[in-house]
Amino acid sequence: MDDAFFFGYGSLVNRHTHDYPDAQPVTIRGWRREWRMARSLGRTFLSVVPDAGAQIDGLVARVPGNDWAALDIRETGYGRHALGADAFARGPVRPAQIYAIAPQNAQPANPDAPIKLSYLDVVVEGFAQEFGLDGVARFFDTTTGWGPVLDDRTAPLYPRARPVAPALRRLVDDQLANMGVERLSR
């Protein structure tokens, strides 16, 4: 089967973090993005939770040869859930899978497992590339569960960290300050 697709809503929106083919921007309904700590891993990640009134942007991309093994490893700590055609509000409609941290394995972001700034920078870079500054604003507006952020930019802890433009870093910093998100030093 060559038509397996996933919906990425965080770092998978940044095409510099993967080489999955046929990636296209879409908007889905019925899910809300949320920062959650995966208890089993002791780290905070972006996840999604069902929310009938929500819409989020992301990318839908092909999983070559229906081989989910590499993507499942990348998304360790998450479970896969089917998205039906009715989930797509904008963009190509494809039956796809979405990754979410199971509620029983999740807790809010906290100082013991802060959000890594290097991770957030990569996510925001992807949204800027795919959806422009309006898409970045929608990312912040449609993401809940903001906990403390660890400033790891000088020595990134996120495995797919990459340098992002100074203007983008300032945008992230300003948004976090405007939201009153606590910033922790390394």
pLDDT tens, position by position, 41-57: 888 999 999 999 999 99
Q: How far apart are CA 19 and CA 59, in angstroms?
A: 12
CA-based nearest residue to 133, from 174, 79, 78, 163: 174
Structural domains of the chain, ranges and CATH numbers in brackets = 5-185 (3.10.490.10)
**Structure confidence by residue, pLDDT tens digits, 15-39:** 998 888 789 999 999 999 999 998 8
CA 74 to each of CA 17, 69, 138, 174, 185: distance values in angstroms, whole numbers, following the listed order: 11, 9, 25, 30, 27
What is the pLDDT, as a whole number, of residue 1? 41
Least confidently predicted of 53-57, 79-83, 104-108, 135-139 = 104-108
Kindly indicate the confidence band of residue 107, based on its pLDDT and cuts at 50, 70 and 90.
confident
Q: Is 80 exceeded by the pLDDT of residue 2?
A: no
What is the pLDDT, as a whole number, of residue 3? 63
Least confidently predicted of 19-33, 92-106, 138-152 = 92-106
